[in-house]
Structure 1
């Protein structure tokens, strides 16, 4: 369940920081009853960025497979060995 806090609660920075680290999820900040901002810990942000990049790369890989842009693993390894003299 998402955590929602009013903007006035941001005055207590230690409490908000602790909440960010305890929940490991974004915290939604409201202003005048409406969504205004989202805050999160650095760890949560970095994990989110990593997962977004991973999903993007997986989607590109799936598109390559669907388009037939694939290589046999043994052939690819053989080509790499030849290219780098391994």
Structure 2
């Protein structure tokens, strides 16, 4: 379950840090009843970044497979020739 705390609880940073470290989910800090920021442990943040990177990779692989299936690709020699022509003039 998501945990929300009011911004005034940030005054006691040690206590707030304990709340964040003890929560398996990110902690939402509210101000005037509205979400102001979200805090999470470095491990949770790294996990989130890893999941996003994995999702991007999977989307790129799907796109590459579709390009391959449609014939929209170059073999290795043609690719290298195109690079040499582009950059060596």
TM-score (normalised: structure 1): 0.71
DSSP-derived class of the 1:68 partner: helix
User: Equivalents in 2 of 1:19, 1:55: separation in Å?
Assistant: 30
Aligned position for 2:10: 10
* Equivalent residue pairs, number: 69
Q: Structure 1 unaligned runs (5+)?
A: 70-86
Structure 2 unpaired stretches of 5+: 70-89
The answer (yes or no) to whether the contact 1:17–1:41 under 8 Å persists in 2 is: no
CA distance in 2, matches of 1:2, 1:43: 17
- Once the two structures are TM-superposed, the CA of residue 6 in structure 1 deviates from its matched residue by 0.3
TM-score (norm 2): 0.69
Root mean square deviation of aligned Cα: 1.4
- SS of residue paired to 1:4: strand
Matched ranges for 1:57-72 at <5 A: 57-68=57-68
Q: CA deviation at 1:14?
A: 1.7
**Which consecutive segments of 4 or more residues in structure 1 shift more than 3 A?**
none
Q: Take 2:22 and 2:66, find their aligned partners in 1: how far apart are those partners?
A: 41
**Matching of residue 22 in structure 1 with residue 22 in structure 2:** yes
